[in-house]
């Protein structure tokens, strides 16, 4: 079961402390490369580098971080959950009062059992995150605050993978690897990317496939900066995030909402058994599609998610854990993205090579309708004739499928039959 494989990888990566930069990102990418995708290319961009309108920050790493009482009892420990430490916290070793400590604590009153995810990249500070119930138990006494971290010149690390096809035009899958322990928001995207890449590698592909694993926002900006020329070859693109829970699909279109990826994705989603919710790019964007769909870049990128980021209560908290995602939900996401790929690979424009209806019976099939009664063969005949009348040299397979209320994936064998019989041809 594909869902098992994706879930197992998420489990393997879950406890690794990740941030925008640092050893956690490298460890994550090394596991993906060494255990799953040996052709993965790992790149580093030095601190201080200008990428777009941004500057790569110093690299951040953490050895240890905790809050303890003066008897040495640990109240909060980074080792127990790496969400406890605010991302990019400076080092500190200090005895402070509860009043001072509270200025650097973050919790959610509305979600008293959840540890929030908080980070800061460019402002020097420190802090800890805890559940509000934990916070209420703190006594009015002094505490020892200890953070063994480093902020110094280093690198932003990212990776990509190119799977060559018959043509140079590319299908691009982007995902991010910069969040600590969150299953759906962080790890479902990279784990699905790995499984899709493994599957694509085994196929005979028309398109070339590109996969990127970058820190969110500045990582995708850096990727654009380093690969702008190559990205001009992108024909369709998907941002992989929040693909792991058991709820219905969510769809975020590209900036224009009218690209080939939009058309394929909408067609696939509407042909699934459950309803889906479509969001607005302008109102609801929030992941790396912001960069890849920006003016001047203009990639045809969409996101097919389960529960959309920012829209589910567990988002950016410790409640987004291994129990929130499911093997079935992950497999659903694999299936819909693989179906998009299969359709993209076969989505040609055809035109008829005969005038009028073809004589199907002479082609070795018993295509007959007698007295208005239809057998299995005659149903095939009706489908074939429906397709033939739509092969006008203008509409592609998805357009035709939509016009006859069918799923393009189900029609591909019929188109292949018609092509093999010399009844239709591809419009180049």
Q: What is the pTM of this model?
A: 0.95
Q: Residue 340 to residues 268, 305, 337: CA-CA distances in angstroms?
A: 7, 14, 5
Neighbours of 204 (CB within 10 A): 7
The predicted pLDDT at position 147 comes to 98
pLDDT digits (tens, 9 = 90+) for 106-152: 999 999 999 999 998 888 899 999 999 999 999 999 999 999 999 99
Q: Considering only CA atoms, which of 194, 312, 317, 181 is closest in space to residue 250?
A: 312
Q: Where are the beta strands (DSSP E) in 217-323?
A: 234-239, 250-252, 277-278, 301-305
- Bridge partners for 303 per DSSP: 252
Q: Each residue of 381-404: pLDDT tens digit?
A: 778 888 999 999 999 999 999 999
**Angle, CA 83 vertex, CA 223 and CA 53 arms, to 5°:** 25
| DSSP assignment of 38-66 | TTPEEEEEETT-EETTEE---EEEEEEEE
Helix (H, G, I), strand (E, B) or coil at 198: helix
The pLDDT of residue 364 is above 70: no
Q: Mean pLDDT, to the nearest integer, of 265-270?
A: 98
Task: Report angle CA 384, 372, 364 to the nearest 5 degrees.
Answer: 40
What's the pLDDT score for residue 369? Answer: 42
Superfamily of domain 2-57+155-345: Zn peptidases (3.40.630.10)
More confident residue, 371 or 97: 97
Q: So where are the chain's domains?
A: 2-57+155-345, 59-152, 349-426
- The pLDDT > 70 percentage for the chain reads 96
Q: Which two tokens stand for residue 237?
A: 């693109």
Residue 369 CA to residue 138 CA, distance in Å, equals 81
Q: What is the pLDDT of residues 299-332, one digit of tens each?
A: 999 999 999 999 999 999 999 999 999 999 999 9
How far apart CA 115 and CA 419 sit, in angstroms, is 58
End-to-end CA distance of the chain: 38
CB 27 within 8 A of CB 16: yes
Which tokens in the block code for residue 369?
A: 């309708």
Answer yes or no: are the C-beta atoms of 232 and 252 closer than 8 Å: no
Q: pLDDT (tens digit, 9 = 90+) per residue, 58-114?
A: 999 999 999 999 999 999 999 999 999 999 999 999 999 999 999 999 999 999 999
* DSSP-derived secondary structure letter, 91: P
Would you say 175 and 212 are in contact if contact means Cβ atoms under 8 Å apart? yes
Contacts of 298 (CB under 8 A, 6+ apart): 255
The pLDDT of residue 140: 97
- Asked whether the beta carbons of 221 and 212 are under 8 A apart, the reply is no
CA atoms of 368 and 388, how far apart (whole Å) = 17
Give the pLDDT score at 69: 97
Q: Please give the helix or strand (H or E) that residue 344 lies within, else none.
A: helix 327-346
What is the C-alpha to C-alpha distance for residues 56 and 44, in angstroms, rounded to an integer?
A: 11
Number of neighbouring beta carbons within 10 Å of residue 169:
13
Report H helices in 276-322: 281-284, 289-292
d(CA 307, CA 64): 33
Q: Is the dihedral of CA 122, 18, 185, 335 positive or negative?
A: positive
Q: Mean pLDDT, to the nearest integer, of 206-213?
A: 98
Mean pLDDT computed over 17-37: 98
What is the C-alpha R_g of the chain?
26
Under DSSP, is residue 117 helix (H, G, I), strand (E, B) or coil? coil
CATH number of 59-152: 3.50.30.90
Torsion, Cα of 112, 117, 121, 122 (10° steps): -20
Question: Once rounded to an integer, what is the mean pLDDT over residues 262-288?
Answer: 96
More confident residue, 261 or 379: 261
Is the separation of the CB atoms in 398 and 270 below 8 Å?
no
């Amino acid at each position: 079961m594909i869902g098992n494989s994706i879930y197992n990888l998420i489990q393997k990566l879950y406890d690794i402390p990740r941030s925008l930069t640092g050893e956690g990102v490298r460890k994550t990418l090394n596991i993906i490369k060494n255990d799953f995708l040996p052709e993965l290319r790992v790149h580093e961009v030095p601190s201080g580098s200008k990428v777009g309108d941004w500057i790569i920050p110093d690299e951040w790493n953490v050895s240890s971080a905790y809050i303890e009482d003066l008897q040495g009892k640990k109240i909060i420990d980074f080792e127990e959950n790496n969400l406890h430490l605010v991302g990019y916290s400076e080092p500190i070793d200090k005895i402070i009062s509860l009043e001072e400590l509270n200025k650097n604590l973050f919790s959610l009153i509305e979600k008293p059992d959840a540890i929030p995810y908080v980070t800061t990249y460019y402002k020097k500070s420190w802090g800890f995150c805890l559940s509000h119930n934990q916070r209420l138990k703190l006594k009015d006494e002094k505490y020892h605050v200890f953070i063994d971290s480093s902020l110094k010149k280093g690198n932003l690390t990212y990776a990509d993978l190119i799977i060559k096809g018959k043509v140079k035009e590319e299908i691009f899958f982007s995902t991010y690897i910069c969040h600590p322990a969150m299953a759906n928001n962080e790890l479902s995207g990279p784990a699905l990317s790995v499984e899709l890449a493994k599957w694509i590698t085994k196929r005979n592909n028309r398109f070339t496939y590109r996969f990127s694993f970058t820190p969110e926002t500045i990582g995708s900006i850096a990727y654009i900066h380093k690969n702008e020329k190559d990205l001009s070859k992108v024909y369709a693109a998907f941002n992989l995030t929040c693909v792991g829970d058991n709820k219905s699909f969510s769809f975020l279109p590209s900036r224009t909402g009218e690209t080939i990826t939009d058309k394929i994705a909408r067609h696939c989603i509407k042909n699934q058994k459950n309803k889906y919710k479509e969001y607005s790019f302008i109102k609801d964007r929030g992941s790396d599609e912001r960069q890849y769909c920006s003016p001047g870049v203009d990639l045809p990128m969409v996101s097919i998610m389960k529960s959309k980021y920012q829209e589910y209560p567990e988002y950016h908290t410790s409640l987004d854990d291994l129990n929130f995602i499911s093997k079935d939900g992950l497999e659903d996401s694999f299936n819909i993205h693989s179906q998009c790929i299969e359709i993209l690979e076969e989505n040609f424009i055809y035109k008829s090579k005969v005038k009028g209806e073809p004589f199907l019976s002479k082609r070795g099939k018993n295509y007959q309708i007698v007295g208005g009664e239809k057998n299995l063969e005659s149903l095939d005949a009706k489908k074939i004739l429906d397709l033939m009348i739509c092969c006008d040299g203008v509409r592609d397979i998805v357009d035709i499928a939509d016009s006859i209320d069918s799923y393009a994936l189900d029609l591909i064998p019929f188109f292949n039959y018609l092509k093999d019989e010399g009844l239709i041809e591809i419009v180049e």
